[in-house]
Structure 1
Amino acid sequence: MVRDDASVSIKVLLNATAAHFGFRPTYKRVWLAKQKAVALIYGDWDELYNELPRWVLGVRLTMPGTVAVLRTSPVRVGGHLDESRAYFHRLFWTFPPCIEAFRHCKPLVSIDGTHLYGKYGGTLLVAIAQDGISNILPVAFALVEGENAESWSFFLSHLREHVTPQLGLLVISDKHNGIKAALEAPDGGWLPPSAYRAFCIRHVAENFALTFKGKDARRLLVNAMYTKTEVEFHYWFDILRSEDPAMCDSANRIEYSLWIQHCDEGRRFRHMTTNISECVNSILKGVTNLPVCSLVKATYGRLAELFVRKGREAEAQMGTGQQFSQHLVKCIEANLKTARCFTVTVYDRDNSEFTVAETTPTGSFSLGTYRVSLASHTCDCGYFQALHFPCPHALACCAYSRLTWEPYVHQVYRLSSVFSVCQMGFTPPIPEGFWPPYDGPTVIPDPNKRHAREGRPRSTRIQTNMDEADPNRPKRCGLCRQPGHTCRSCPQLGGAEHTREHD
């Protein structure tokens, strides 16, 4: 079971043990047994730390251009420095296909961290990008001691240097103080106008809900966050103020550009949360339960599979002869049908500036007037600059001027860009026996990072409403993970009991 899924829960293993062997061990014994199983399958927890330097040399030989930065700390014995050994401290790594892919993705990156759940503690930091058809792509990783200002600075400085040198980049994250300190460092390269920061609105809403109880307060704030125009924002903010002026005072302490969509100048591309970081768990499932070197090697294999799969999908779409994805084309077609209810007036043909009067299909009722600038890709409705493809008002202006709408769609949505994301693939890794020799100090784990040996291991994850189960999701058996029954009525359990009775 551990070989099939290293992230299998202790509860599932405990139920399987009870079903197949007829006794129910303690949680701690099953936890220890799982760690031994992981060590048998993937390698010794301690010895694999010393394989990291050789992996760095091997992966650079496998794929020239790979960036792998290993940091160690000195070992002191009795007040003296032991030069033959060194503690593992931090590791940053990324691969050439990831670096090349990010050049064709949306100009934003979502960063997040997840705890390690093996014998030794630590945190895996990940930077996530997304292409024009919403494919999620991890582009850089780091193993650090925890989430603090120094570790985030280590990760973000190398991310900026090796993967994301583009100007005007947006970073989406939670409100962690370590991230704040790293992004605001004068020499980090993350200050405006080189780069900008935005908060995940779910984290902002969660912090807001801790102070102001009740779902209505949270809902009103979220509605204000998603607004695409100043008029909409003030509408929801006035309702929030009427509920409790203290809510507005609390929200006003956060700079608007960090959490309100209409103030971000279209940099979010509709990404209001760090959900793409959460979704990467499907790609890296189980790696945080592995020994350190197996974890690092797993990222290479998982990304190689991802690039092959997504590359084939992009190639199939390119074979259709279309310039854009089917989803985008459907959005444009839906907007074109709506555009028949608009009346366009030209104000500056040279600069492509118009006003569009929106009416009901019968023309008996006015729904508003909007200013549209095709040259600057803006509309008073806010959708043109937020979505980066023409809104219904912009499409009406294109039809009036006999212009095609394709030039007004951001380059990232073109299938040529999507195809370029996964065009560079991974090469088969060189076997470990052919890795270059390493003659430095022996890398060992820091004993202070080892998880507690006694008592039930406690999760360090802070639970929020993002961790709540979907009520519409079917319940699954805790033993076989199949829907339709519970572990008490599991066919595997019945089969095991029948076998024991027969024996």
Structure 2
Amino acid sequence: MDESSSCAHRSANGMPGTMSNRVISLCRRNVAVSDIPVSPEESYKMMYSYLYMLKQLNPGTKTCVKLDEGSKFKYLFVALGVCIEGFAVMRKVIVVDATWLKNGYGGVLVFAKAQDPNQHDYPLAFAVLDGENDASWTWFFEMLKSVIPDSSELVFMSNRNRIMISAIANVFPQAHHGHCLWHLKEIVKLHACGVRKDIVGHRFMELGRYYTVADFNSAYDSFKISYPSAYKYVEEQTEKDRWARVFFPRDMYNLDTSNSVESMKNVFKEATTWALIPMLDCIIGKFSDWFNQHRKDAVAGSIDSKLVPRVKNCLHELWHVAQKLPVRKIDSYVFEYEITDTEGKMFLVSLVERSRTCKVWDYEKFPCLHGLAAYIYYTTTVGSRIHIHELCSEYYWSELWALAYSRTLYVVPTSLLGMYRITSRR
């Protein structure tokens, strides 16, 4: 069989079940596998034992190994149970990217990640593939689909890897794919002639982040006049509904680049030169460290704090300006107000619909300056019957942030690996 799940899923006493207290105790006090020198050949021999113990220690974990026709290693997929469980309380945007392995055997290391409510990287799955080709990308996304079902709410963000994009479309037909704005910006800069390329790149990034179609069209017309060669490429070679916020058909929140995966690749740059098991164990060890730290952060705030720190701080920074803006009540039924900003522009805000004409609230999913001004007016004139967190997406609630890290992520210690020598069944 080609799946690690074909190994015997049994606990220390030979019967199906969870790990014993003794095993958990060993896990907490022994060194990790990545601390032990191992050759590439030995690493592959240890693989099934390692994956078996990883699943025993972390219930709900999905692992899969695919062999080629000669029974040689080809692909490996790992999705940790705690991560998949936590994704239920995440915004449904998945960022995917790959980096080349430099361990003498070649192939690529793939990461799929989300972003937690406080905008930290949240790993979902990773894989080792023989390269970036149609078969390998299709296999990876099929494995990902086995733990994260296809949904119209899903968004995938990546660079413009055509093979990857095709695989996403085939495996996740209900999801929408977005192009990483940063990678696309670098390509657009190459097509700019006779102008400062850094300015062109900056202007293009701004295009992708406008909140209204009117603002986008005005800026796009200006871009066409100022940078005709770059405009020609954007107009003829890109699809606006994959990079421009105002045309994107799904919710992508603040996630318009894959740079967070780029930073993850940098974290594990040295590990890509190691043998398979030490590399995997290093990755899981770092994920475990992140889980432990973010768990502490999530429960460190006041019990009365309903919002994650990032959103709470953002609203706090807007508060002193918002409370000074003129507000006029328009419709008591939907709590609609007219807000005049510091430049004299007027905007409509509905507290019931969580919407406003500037569209920032619609996309970011928490009150903008105008929405906050309406909320302050409402609470001071009507009475505080609405808490500010009720005007934000549930994905930004602190209780969901804590829930995402409620379980412990365990690494595999060497003492446990020696207890179980599981080989693949032929």
SS state at 1:300 partner:
helix
Cα pair 1:220 1:240 within 8 Å, conserved: yes
Q: How does 1:6-405 map to 2 (within 5 A)?
A: 42-75=37-70, 86-163=71-148, 167-185=152-170, 188=171, 190-191=172-173, 194-213=174-193, 214-215=196-197, 216-253=199-236, 254-264=238-248, 267-281=251-265, 283-317=267-301, 319=302, 321-358=304-341, 360=342, 367-402=344-379, 403-405=386-388
Cα pair 2:118 2:396 within 8 Å, conserved: yes
Gaps of 5+ in 2: 1-33, 380-385
Paired position in structure 2 for 1:424: 407
Instruction: Report the Cα distance in structure 1 between the residues aligned to 2:142 and 2:367, rounded to whole angstroms.
Output: 36
Tell me the amino acid that sits aligned with residue 108 of structure 2. T
Deviations 1:234-259 (A, max 9, x none): 22212211124443332223222211
Instruction: Report the Cα distance in structure 1 between the residues aligned to 2:176 and 2:184, rounded to whole angstroms.
Output: 17
Tell me the amino acid that sits aligned with residue 137 of structure 1. Y
Instruction: Report the Cα distance in structure 1 between the residues aligned to 2:227 and 2:266, rounded to whole angstroms.
Output: 41
Instruction: Compute the displacement of 1:368 (Å).
Output: 1.2
Instruction: Compute the displacement of 1:174 (Å).
Output: 0.4
Instruction: Report the Cα distance in structure 2 between the residues aligned to 1:375 and 1:205, rounded to whole angstroms.
Output: 37
SS state at 1:154 partner:
helix
SS state at 2:84 partner:
helix
Same amino acid, percent of matched pairs: 20
1:413 lines up with 2:396 in the alignment:
yes
Paired position in structure 2 for 1:25: none
Instruction: Compute the displacement of 1:134 (Å).
Output: 1.8
Deviations 1:148-168 (A, max 9, x none): 222121112221220465540
Cα pair 1:172 1:274 within 8 Å, conserved: yes
Deviations 1:39-71 (A, max 9, x none): 995311123223223323332333332101110
Gaps of 5+ in 1: 1-38, 76-85, 361-365, 442-503
SS state at 2:113 partner:
strand
Deviations 1:202-260 (A, max 9, x none): 11111112222442332322221221222221222122111244433322232222111
Q: What is the TM-score when the length of structure 2 is the normalising length?
A: 0.82
Instruction: Report the Cα distance in structure 2 between the residues aligned to 1:101 and 1:272, rounded to whole angstroms.
Output: 22
Deviations 1:278-330 (A, max 9, x none): 2224653522111112222333322222212221222222x554122344223
Q: Which moved more, 1:106-115 or 1:349-358?
A: 349-358
Instruction: Compute the displacement of 1:265 (Å).
Output: 5.6
With over 3 angstroms needed to count, the CA separation of the structure-2 counterparts of 1:301 and 1:219, relative to structure 1, is: closer
Cα pair 2:281 2:412 within 8 Å, conserved: no
With over 3 angstroms needed to count, the CA separation of the structure-2 counterparts of 1:268 and 1:343, relative to structure 1, is: same
Q: Which moved more, 1:50-59 or 1:65-74?
A: 50-59
With over 3 angstroms needed to count, the CA separation of the structure-2 counterparts of 1:46 and 1:338, relative to structure 1, is: same
Tell me the amino acid that sits aligned with residue 363 of structure 2. A
SS state at 1:370 partner:
strand
Q: Which moved more, 1:287-296 or 1:338-347?
A: 338-347
Tell me the amino acid that sits aligned with residue 271 of structure 1. L
Paired position in structure 1 for 2:26: none
Cα pair 2:169 2:175 within 8 Å, conserved: no
Pairwise CA RMSD of aligned residues?
A: 2.4
Instruction: Report the Cα distance in structure 2 between the residues aligned to 1:428 and 1:117, rounded to whole angstroms.
Output: 24
Cα pair 1:225 1:261 within 8 Å, conserved: yes
Cα pair 1:209 1:218 within 8 Å, conserved: yes
With over 3 angstroms needed to count, the CA separation of the structure-2 counterparts of 1:392 and 1:428, relative to structure 1, is: closer
Cα pair 1:266 1:388 within 8 Å, conserved: no
With over 3 angstroms needed to count, the CA separation of the structure-2 counterparts of 1:439 and 1:96, relative to structure 1, is: closer
Larger Rg: 1
Instruction: Compute the displacement of 1:114 (Å).
Output: 0.7
With over 3 angstroms needed to count, the CA separation of the structure-2 counterparts of 1:59 and 1:334, relative to structure 1, is: closer
SS state at 2:345 partner:
strand
With over 3 angstroms needed to count, the CA separation of the structure-2 counterparts of 1:247 and 1:282, relative to structure 1, is: closer
With over 3 angstroms needed to count, the CA separation of the structure-2 counterparts of 1:44 and 1:222, relative to structure 1, is: same
SS state at 2:123 partner:
strand
Instruction: Report the Cα distance in structure 1 between the residues aligned to 2:293 and 2:314, rounded to whole angstroms.
Output: 26
Instruction: Report the Cα distance in structure 1 between the residues aligned to 2:351 and 2:241, rounded to whole angstroms.
Output: 24
Cα pair 1:201 1:259 within 8 Å, conserved: yes
With over 3 angstroms needed to count, the CA separation of the structure-2 counterparts of 1:398 and 1:266, relative to structure 1, is: farther
Tell me the amino acid that sits aligned with residue 289 of structure 2. E
Cα pair 1:100 1:424 within 8 Å, conserved: no
Instruction: Report the Cα distance in structure 1 between the residues aligned to 2:410 and 2:43, rounded to whole angstroms.
Output: 23
Deviations 1:387-430 (A, max 9, x none): 21101211222233334422111112221111111111124636
SS state at 1:46 partner:
helix
Instruction: Report the Cα distance in structure 2 between the residues aligned to 1:270 and 1:72, rounded to whole angstroms.
Output: 39
